[in-house]
Amino acid sequence: MQRFILSRKNQITIISAILIATGFISALGFKNETVAVWALGIASVLGLAPIAIQAYQALRVKVVSIDVLVTIAVLGAFVIKNFEESAIVTFLFLFGAFLEQRTLNKTRSAIKELTEMAPESALKQMPNGEFEEVDVDEVDVGDVLLVKTGAKIPVDGTVLSGEGSINEASITGESLPVSKEKSSTVFAGSILDNGTIQIVADRVGEDTTFGKIIELVEEAQDSKSEAERFIDRFSKYYTPVVLLIGLLVWVFSRNLELAITILVLGCPGALVIGVPVSNVAGIGNGARNGVLLKGSEVIGDFSRLDIMVFDKTGTLTVGNPSVSEKAYYGDEIEEALGYLASVERESDHPLAKAVLEEIGDTTFSPVENTEVVKSGGITATVDGHRVAVGNVALMEREGVLLSEQANADIDRFEKNGNSLVLTSVDGELKVLMGVRDQIRPGVKEDLSRLKRLSVKNLVMLSGDNQGTVDAVSRELGLTEAHGNMLPEEKSAYIKKLIEEKKQIVAFVGDGVNDSPSLALAHIGIAMGSGTDVAIETSDIVLMNSDFSRLPHALGLAKATARNMKQNIFIAVGVVLFLLASVFFSEWMNMSIGMLVHEASILVVILNGMRLLRYKLRKKPKQ
């Protein structure tokens, strides 16, 4: 029966609300006291049932919880036939518990989502030399596997033969596919975009990088137990004190009504509702402004933030590479751009799309004698001209003379974190393009706002090369920036900050590879267009991936935390005032006390509702 009642607390809360509304309408609207008494009485009994059960369970383990005080106070109000107070107190208590439960429950379906993304089968070389499809669990270290275009890499391994371009976004989070050749390392869970390769298995099952991601998420989520609520800590001292005062008053005065009055007035209704109403108002403001805050514990930790750590791709940057810089040399540039577009149109290289988008509408020419130069680029004959498109090494191979200006431009483009695309026509350099993932518009201003909100350090972690990472860091004015980092290295960095530096850490990311760090950090913040795993693992979600919502989220968390403290101060202060007035004044009675009591509830609700209008102040003009 206890389990049945506790499992239906939400339904009981709804029924109690309906009965209380019926009681007040009957009493005030229709002057029907009988219906009002019955409605409020039934609401009191129904509402008290789960509270009394929780009080009993607490007493069994020798804990005098706030449920005990509420139970005694409601029973006292019921004894003196004040059904209005008993019904309201039980409803507020249950409603507050409902709000907290709703906002604090964390989903754990992220593990299931990760598991479903893991490779399930592999093409394994059998003793007769043929490749057969087997379950990935049947692959052992040292086995030779065949991976075709579009397939997932089933294990961590080393390429034995073949070439291809692999999308490693699920592991490193980087948007650009990576070219692989003999002796290159590949990771389980990444996808072979094009080509065919044979690999030897180096790590299988849970030992793979992808398997470690799943393990890290599990460990990090298990380590994040809910912080003990302030009300529970407070009740350890408050509840026994109020009960003792009520008992002593009854023993020495033999005045049962006075003792019950003390218990009723001592019941912290405003304290019960004050913290949840602040949370709900803050969460409501966030939802209206594109920020999903997952509970009051999140708000508390976020408001005390010391360090904010960012993934690069898809977080600080857009996630789609494009041409950021370009330089032209010599004459007939339009023809050269047409030749470049003609060659790139036939290429599946990840930079080709960015180049074509930059050139736009142009005149295409037939391409002949195409040759793919390993680790260099492409050469071809276009409209009778020898055209080479690729990196500096290809230009040297083609005997293209690079002027001092061209060399200076190349150095500058590389320092700015660009991948280079050079184009020569008949041995003469015509076009230089720098391609990189662009920084999100307005991110630099948003980071400045975070600093004004007292974030001490802004750190970037990325799987991209250190040169690109340093270029982004310089442009954004970050405190630290670390490149070439795998997911386990990112999470190890987060763990070090938490354990060694004892600081409150937030991590902002968007990919599966970010999920261990999102789960491990005190506050995980996911971009709304990221993977479901990242969103579910996180504590805060920026809807529509709007980075500009991040300063609003932090400012809102700080305002909500202040509001909660204000409500606690108001609630506790009113209770102490009422109890003191019972003993040290002649004018205080139950009616006046109840009026003040209900007024305090209204005050904390109105104070909490102010958060619905919260807006982060812009930097004042100098």
Identify the bridge partners of residue 370 per DSSP, sorted by sequence position.
Answer: none
Whole-number pLDDT of residue 143: 95
Q: What mean pLDDT is predicted for residues 9-34?
A: 91
Q: What mean pLDDT is predicted for residues 262-272?
A: 69
pLDDT above 70 (res 228)? no
Whole-number pLDDT of residue 621: 45
156-167 and 191-203 strand pairing: antiparallel
**Residue pair 394/423 in contact by the 8 Å Cβ criterion:** no
Amino acid occupying residue 39:
A
Q: What percent of the chain has pLDDT over 70?
A: 84
338: nearest Cα among 320, 321, 355, 353: 355
Whole-number pLDDT of residue 43: 93
Whole-number pLDDT of residue 109: 43
Out of 161-170, 335-344, 426-435, 529-538, least confident range:
529-538
579: nearest Cα among 69, 71, 232, 86: 69
**Residue pair 311/514 in contact by the 8 Å Cβ criterion:** yes
Sign of CA pseudo-dihedral 476, 481, 484, 487: negative
What is the pLDDT confidence band of residue 221, given thresholds at 50, 70 and 90? very low
pLDDT above 80 (res 585)? no
**Residue pair 362/341 in contact by the 8 Å Cβ criterion:** yes
What is the pLDDT confidence band of residue 220, given thresholds at 50, 70 and 90? very low
Top-ranked range on mean pLDDT: pick from 64-73, 227-236, 245-254, 442-451: 442-451
Whole-number pLDDT of residue 106: 37
Mean pLDDT of the chain: 82
pLDDT above 90 (res 506)? yes
**Residue 174's Cα: distance from chain center in Å?**
19
Domains parsed from the chain with CATH numbers: 113-220 (2.70.150.10), 291-318+440-552 (3.40.50.1000), 319-438 (3.40.1110.10)
Which conformational region is residue 89 in: left (phi greater than 0), alpha (psi within -120 to 50 degrees), or beta?
alpha
Whole-number pLDDT of residue 511: 62
Measured CA to CA, the distance from residue 503 to residue 27 in angstroms comes to 56
Q: Which of 67, 143, 301, 311 is catalytic?
A: 311
DSSP result, 168-198: -TTTT--SS-EEE-TT-EE-TT-EEEEEEEE
Amino acid occupying residue 146:
L
Residue whose tokens read 């609401």: 43
pLDDT higher at 485 or 329: 329
What is the pLDDT confidence band of residue 173, given thresholds at 50, 70 and 90? low
What is the pLDDT confidence band of residue 326, given thresholds at 50, 70 and 90? very high
Measured CA to CA, the distance from residue 343 to residue 92 in angstroms comes to 71
Whole-number pLDDT of residue 620: 46
Whole-number pLDDT of residue 507: 93
**Residue 238's Cα: distance from chain center in Å?**
36
Whole-number pLDDT of residue 267: 67
Measured CA to CA, the distance from residue 293 to residue 579 in angstroms comes to 37
pLDDT tens-digit map of 448-468: 999 999 898 999 998 777 877
What are the tokens at 167?
A: 């999308």
Measured CA to CA, the distance from residue 622 to residue 618 in angstroms comes to 12
Q: What mean pLDDT is predicted for residues 25-36?
A: 90
Whole-number pLDDT of residue 336: 93
**Residue 582's Cα: distance from chain center in Å?**
49
Q: What mean pLDDT is predicted for residues 223-245?
A: 61
Sequence-distant (≥ 6) Cβ neighbours of residue 502 within 8 angstroms? none
Helix (H, G, I), strand (E, B) or coil at 199: strand
Whole-number pLDDT of residue 551: 94
pLDDT tens-digit map of 367-384: 999 888 877 889 999 999
Top-ranked range on mean pLDDT: pick from 47-51, 87-91, 231-235: 47-51
pLDDT above 50 (res 171)? yes
- The pTM is what? 0.63
Out of 64-78, 311-325, 360-374, 522-536, least confident range:
522-536
Q: What mean pLDDT is predicted for residues 92-107?
A: 58
345-352, long-range: CB within 8 Å, 24+ apart, which pairs? 346/370, 347/378, 347/389, 348/165, 348/193, 348/194, 349/165, 349/378, 350/165, 350/176, 350/177, 350/321, 351/176, 351/321, 351/419, 351/421, 351/435
Identify the bridge partners of residue 185 per DSSP, sorted by sequence position.
Answer: 158
Is 426 tagged catalytic?
no
Out of 43-57, 86-100, 180-194, 247-261, least confident range:
86-100
**Residue 18's Cα: distance from chain center in Å?**
37
User: Cβ–Cβ contacts within 10 Å for residue 37, how many?
Assistant: 16
pLDDT above 90 (res 408)? yes
Sign of CA pseudo-dihedral 331, 333, 334, 335: positive
What is the pLDDT confidence band of residue 262, given thresholds at 50, 70 and 90? confident
Measured CA to CA, the distance from residue 617 to residue 449 in angstroms comes to 10
Whole-number pLDDT of residue 107: 34
Whole-number pLDDT of residue 618: 63
Measured CA to CA, the distance from residue 149 to residue 188 in angstroms comes to 15
Out of 17-31, 371-385, 579-593, least confident range:
579-593
Q: Label residue 257 exposed, middle or buried (CB < 10 Å: 0-12, 13-18, 19+).
A: middle
pLDDT tens-digit map of 517-573: 888 888 988 876 555 555 666 788 887 677 888 999 999 999 988 998 898 888 888
Whole-number pLDDT of residue 189: 83
